[in-house]
Every structure is written in structure tokens, then in C-alpha cells.
Structure 1
Amino acid sequence: MNRSVEEIQKILSSFRAPDRSKYPELQGYSGAEIYQDCFGGGGLYLAAQMARTLRLRPDDTVLDLGCGKGSSSIFLAKHYGVNVIALDLWTAADFLQQKISAQGFSDRITAIQMDATQPLPFAMNYFDSIFCMNSFSFYGGNPEFIEHLLKHLKPGGQLCIGSEVLTSEFTAEQMINPPQVYAFRLPAPNEHVDVFEDDFKKQHTPEWWRNLFQLSGLQVESCRELEDADAIYEELVRYEHEQNIDPFDVQICLDQLEWGRTHEPRKTLFVITVQKPYV
């Protein structure tokens, strides 16, 4: 639905925001710092929730898998003093390294551009933790990729995924005729992208992800939906509208939020943290 500016502002006037007092890590952060360079929903709110589930120690080595434009990598280095390998397929390593240097973390973060489904240039049992925000479903929700990845995680190490997920699986009918709010084409020059096939069809429920990791022989330490997921989405939409960042995305997100109040499945955010066995 294409809404007028007045209609959007009326809707946004009732939207909530997350309680910042519950995110001491983000005190003093602007909306741009929280959302602008983060792919998908949740921004650094999601990164903060993920990091809390990890037993991070200063000088640990962390793989930030699918790091996008590096905001999560900088967040981890800044607040936890860890060393980060920031790996992404689509973001140029030179761009990332310049951003990292400008933030003063070139001694902590190394950027690599590559396809994570290919053989990784790291030793076995190299990482203390693996952190993956809003990208794991694109690598393939299957035991083969998990096995490929976990070769490089130390025994007893943790893998944490934070992501947009669904509150229920799509029904058989919805897989054939998906809800319009999840089945659309992006504006030019990306009109060839089928968002349902390339994105939402790969999303699942938190319980689906729990079962996948348990079948892969991993201990699930925590798996939960973010209680303030809707408020985070609402604040993101308000931020994008006020900054005129992506009018198309604002319209789509409003459609999804409105549809999800009375239909299933709706979008939400979750965090799952698993541990690699010691033996």
C-alpha cells in the first residue's frame, strides 16, 4: 500500500521504541549508529542481545560471519576487547578496513571478502566464538554448512545466531501463494530479486533452528525471541522515515507490521546460542 506522508506520520505517532535502559551498551548511540549500517532488522539492539549470550573474554578471536558494513564487528571490539575477523561476501574488504581504521580498531579487526560456503582460510579450532547476525539463513540452513563452519570453532566454543525469523512456518498453501507482504520485487535496479524466494522462504521459526542445531550434535544453551522485537521494528521504521533513507522499505515494513498484527506468520527477532562439544 502506498501511503501518503500524512498517513505514515499518523501511523508512526503510535509506534513504540525499545527501552534504552535495558541496553546500557548503547547509551549515547544515535539512531544512525544503531541502524544505518546493519543489514536486516534489529540493528545493534540485536547485536547487544547476541553478545550477552557469549562468554567473551578480552583478546578472544571471534568470526563475525556475514558482517555487512562492519557495525557488529566494531561493536564487539569496542565493548568486549575481542579480536574480530569481519567476513562478508558483498562488502569490499578495503571499504571495511577504512571504516574500521577510522573508528580506531585496525589493531582488533581484520576484514575479509569471500564466500563463506567455500573452504575457509583458517586453522582448525581457530575461533573462540562465531557471531552471525541476519545472514545465516542465506548460507543454507543445513547440517553440511554447520559442519563446514564448526571445523574452525574451538571445542567448547560458542556459535551465536541472531536473526529475523517467523513466528510460525509458512503453510503449504502459503508456500504456493505467499502473502503479498512477503512476496514482492525490489525497486530498480534490483527488480530481478524475488524477495520471497531469496529471503522469506529461507526463514523459519526459532524452534526450527533449535531442532537443526540439536540434530547437528550441538548443545543449545539459549534460544528465545526478543521480547521487544516489535518495538525495535517500529523504531527502525520511524528512523528510516524521518531520515528519508528508504521510502520503499518504509512502506513494506508498515505493510508487514500491520498484516502481522492479525495474521501468521509475522516477523520477529530471535537469538540462539549453541556450544560445540569438547569431544
Structure 2
Amino acid sequence: MYTFTNQFISNDKNLEFAEATMMGPNAMRVAEELASHLNIKENMRVLDLGCGCGLSTILLTQKYGVSVFAADLWISPTENYERFQSIGIDDKAVPISVDATKGLPFANGYFDLLFTVDAYHYFGDTAEMLPSLIPFVKKGGYIAVAVPGIKYEFGENVPDEMKPFWNDEVARTIHSLDWWKELWSREKGIEMIDIREMLCCKQAWDEWLTGYHPGLPFATVVAESTKMMEAENGKYYNLIQLIAKVI
């Protein structure tokens, strides 16, 4: 399942590149598992929404040969363009800055696939977001999402070991599979194809946290996340994938 990711990071230069661009659990590995549940064909047009520094974009362009609009709010298009040039995918990947909460600058029905890894939970936790994105995907196309989650809703009963890391932002964005399933089931413009816990959770987290070293970006986030995952110890966190067909 992870043949591309394993081969990519087996090269020392690529591993250094990946470690320098991870913004969370290894987005390339998560993207490869999510993509394995889709029928992605060469030359499809894909929106990689919340692409970060482009690890998911690299996977999509190099493994599948698709054309990708690499959209992110936090990372500048210029930075991503330079990264895409360095890796040799600038002819397949168009970097763009977007804020999904304020609408997307694309034509209706423009994409075969809307793909988002480790980003959707930041902006997709409302009943309004999914229906606002559906028009940009052609009928019969797919929306595929992978997000960090928890095995059950904590509510007011946050486990003691999680309390130091559980603030209002985390409580708003991190939810269970059942929570996401209920939210997406309200939308009549899609057919749910798949929702499950992902297999790569521990490995993707470990590759981010153990691969980090001083001097890389996101130092504070990595340090806090390391403490959190040590306290969590596999009891509460997971990764969740959702795949829906636009009807």
C-alpha cells in the first residue's frame, strides 16, 4: 500500500526533504493510503485542498500522473512552486493560495477529485462546508478526506492524561468516526462510499515526530505533539478517512 512513500524516503535526500516539509503525521503516507481506496487515473484534475508543503501533491502527481491544484492557506504558493520545481513536478502541480471558508476560485464541476489530508478538520467541522465544496467536483467525482481523530467523543469526560493538551481548538477540530459519519450523512448531494480508521496512524505520527530535529520548522508544535502522543500511548487517537461520491 505504501510502496511510493517507502521508496521515496529510502533516498537520503528525499527523506531530508520530507522531514523538512512535514506539518503533521507524514502526509505522503496518509495520502498514499487514502488514494489506494480510489480509482485515480492519469490526467485527472485534482484539488489537493490544504496541501501544506506539498507532500500529498508529490504523491498524487508522481504516482498517479494527475494534474493537481495545490491549494493552501498557510503556505505561500511561491514557496510551494519552488519546492515543486526542485522535485520536478512543476508541470503537474499549480500552487495556489485559498481560504476554503471564503469560497474557492474555480468553476463548478472542474475537478474529478477533491483530496485533502490532515487539513479538513480545521475548516470542515460545520454543516455548511461540505455542501459548499460539492459543486466544484463533477457528477460522479469523489471527495476524499483524511483527518486526525479520536476513537470516541470525549465530551465533558476528557481523560486525565489528555487534559493538558485538550483546549477549545482541539475540542472543535478533533472528532470520532461516528461524529464525522453523522455530519456527512446529512448531505444529500453525496453518496458515502467509505469511512474507516486508517492503518498508518502510528507510523505516520512516528515519522513526523521521530524524524524531527532542531532547526526544522514547527519546533513548538512538534515538541507539544510528542508529549501528547506519549501521554496518549495509542489509547485515544486515530486517523479517519472519508470518501464520498458526488451524485
Coarse TM-score class (shorter-chain normalised): 0.7 to 0.9
Alignment match, 2:163: 180
Residue number in structure 1 paired with 2:36: 52
Give the TM-score normalised by structure 2. 0.86
More strand by share: 2
Q: In structure 1, what is the equivalent of residue 224 of structure 2?
A: 252
The equivalent position to 1:213 in structure 2, one of 165, 180, 184, is: 184
Aligned position for 2:238? 268
Change (3 A) 1:228 1:59: closer
Structure 2 counterpart of 1:96, from 80, 83, 97? 80
User: Equivalents in 2 of 1:248, 1:161: separation in Å?
Assistant: 26
Deviation at 1:33, TM superposition (A): 4.5
Give ranges in structure 1 of 5+ residues lacking alignment: 1-21, 184-195
- Aligned residue type for 2:211: Y
Distance 1:154 1:109 in 2: 20
How far apart, CA to CA, are the structure 1 residues paired with 2:118 and 2:99?
A: 16
> Map of 1:132-151 to 2, 5 A cutoff?
132-151=116-135
2 CA distance for matches of 1:139 and 1:221?
A: 22
Determine whether 1:236 maps to 2:215: no
Deviation at 1:157, TM superposition (A): 0.7
Q: How does 1:54-203 map to 2 (within 5 A)?
A: 54-174=38-158, 179-183=162-166, 196-203=167-174
State the match for 2:175 in structure 1. 204
Instruction: Give the alignment's TM-score, normalised by structure 1.
Output: 0.77
How big is the alpha-carbon RMSD for the aligned residues of Structure 1 and Structure 2?
A: 2.4
> What SS does the corresponding residue of 1:143 show, helix, strand or coil?
coil
Distance 2:102 2:219 in 1: 36
Q: Name the % identity.
A: 24
Contact 2:114 2:142 in 1 (8 A): yes
Q: Using the TM superposition, give the Cα deviation of residue 114 of structure 1 relative to its aligned residue in structure 2, in angstroms.
A: 2.1
Report how far residue 205 of structure 1 moved.
0.7
Distance 1:74 1:110, change over 3 A: same
CA distance in 1, matches of 2:19, 2:195: 23
Give the Cα–Cα distance (whole angstroms) in 2 for the partners of residues 32 and 50 of structure 1: 23
**What is the total number of aligned residue pairs between the two structures?**
240
Aligned partners of 2:18, 2:234: CA distance in 1, in Å? 29
Structure 2: any 5+ residue segments left out of the alignment? 10-14
> Once the 2 structures are TM-superposed, how far is the Cα of residue 35 of structure 1 from its aligned partner?
4.3
Q: Is the 8 A contact 2:27 2:117 kept in 1?
A: no
Distance 1:58 1:138 in 2: 30
> CA-to-partner distance for each residue in 1:112-147, whole Å, 9 max, x for gaps?
112122232211111000011111111131231111
What is the aligned partner in structure 2 of residue 28 from structure 1?
7
SS at match of 1:27: helix
Residue 226 of structure 1, CA deviation: 2.0
